[in-house]
Amino acid sequence: MPWEETKEFIRSGHENLDKYDKNSIRTITIEEDKGVKAIVGCLKGHYDAKKCEVGTHVVSYLFAKEKGWTVTTAQDWFEKKKK
* Secondary structure class of 62 (helix, strand, coil): strand
Write out the residue range of the structural domain in which residue 31 sits. Answer: 4-82
Q: Average pLDDT over the chain, rounded to whole?
A: 91
CA distance 37 to 35: 7
**pLDDT above 70 for 20:** yes
Percentage of the chain with pLDDT > 70?
Answer: 99
- Residue type at position 18: D
Rounded to an integer, the average pLDDT of 62-82 is 94
CA distance 61 to 45: 23
Rounded to an integer, the average pLDDT of 21-32 is 94
The pTM for the full model equals: 0.87
- The residues, any chain, with a CB within 8 Å of residue 71's CB and separated by 6 or more, are 3, 5, 10
Domain count, the chain: 1
Which is higher by pLDDT, 3 or 52? 3
Q: What is the largest CA-CA distance in the chain?
A: 39
